[in-house]
Amino acid sequence: MTDTTKAQILDLARKAINTELLALKRMKETLGDNFADAVEMILSGQGKCIVTGMGKSGLVGRKIAATLASTGTPSFFLHPGEAFHGDLGMISKEDVVLALSYSGETDEILKIVPFIHSNGNKLISMTGNPESALAKNSDVHLDVSVEEEACILHLAPTTSTTAQIAMGDALAVSLMQMRGFTSVDFARLHPGGSLGRRLLMTVGNVMRSHDLPVVAPDCSATDMIHAISKGGLGLIIICDGDRIEGIVTDGDVRRAMERRRAEFFNIKAADIATPNPKTISADRKLIEAEKMMTRNKVTSLLVTDEAGKLQGVIQIYDIKL
């Protein structure tokens, strides 16, 4: 590929992105009270937010439903064609329906509008044509019209689907704020994700509690090296009985070898130990352990009970799997 061809490709990409940026800016500037009405309608509903749409609008609808559901607004996607052939029973009287159709004239959606009205549901439409049949038959209309598609033929849904996604995200974010949705709520709905794991699991769930590399204060340099290597934690814990005296890391050993080379094999663990190592209790959340490590610029914490007795070790690698 020549440099000229690469430049042409990048120019096309930038034009496409710029077209969509301009459309989003215009949509932001024209956002009105109807958006707030839509948020209030969903917020005050006693049921779910049922999202429906065909084609590309349907794909965007699936994404919007998933985003709503994961951010505190119960929601699912209903295919309008399947709905017309029996799945309308999935819509309860308490639900709010969000229908996506850029033209506002999608036949499969218009066919289920009479049921939505007769069932007593509120209908929010998201179209690019405020004068369309769907818009006029909705309780609230959200305008996602764009001046042009980013597609070079101005035909394939590109800018219009970006506008729909942005409007859906705006709804989800606004609803999150109005509901007081917190990071803890998010974690509860995402227990398998990284954030959920850190917010829900405790130090005791992941700490290493067996075969800890514990040595006495008078441990020799040779035994220190062996204990660090065997322990696999990059450190050893210096204990005098049940009392924790400090820790020695592999970095401490390397520095001692460089600075005290002549006497290295005569030093004891207590000579190079870091006293008062950072500790945490087993019942603390992983995210608290992570914050403590970040704040103190360490990668390991000793886990202790109320009496200060060693229970285990947790490392940053245990948190960020």
Distances (CA, A) of 201 to 88, 119, 223, 306: 40, 43, 35, 20
Ligand-binding annotation for 79, yes or no, is yes
Q: What is the 3-state secondary structure (H, E, C) of the chain?
A: CCHHHHHHHHHHHHHHHHHHHHHHHHHHHHCCHHHHHHHHHHHHCCCCEEEEECHHHHHHHHHHHHHHHHCCCCEEECCHHHHHCCHHHHCCCCCEEEEECCCCCCHHHHCCHHHHHHCCCEEEEEECCCCCHHHHCCCEEEECCCCCCCCCCCCCCCHHHHHHHHHHHHHHHHHHHHHCCCHHHHHHHCCCCHHHHHHHCEHHHHCECCCCCEECCCCEHHHHHHHHHHHCCCEEEEEECCEEEEEEEHHHHHHHHHHCHHHHHHCEHHHHCECCCCEECCCCEHHHHHHHHHHHCCCEEEEECCCCCEEEEEEHHHHCC
d(CA 293, CA 301): 7
232: Cβ–Cβ under 8 A, 6 or more apart, which residues? none
Write out the binding residues. 79
Write out the binding residues for Zn(2+). 79
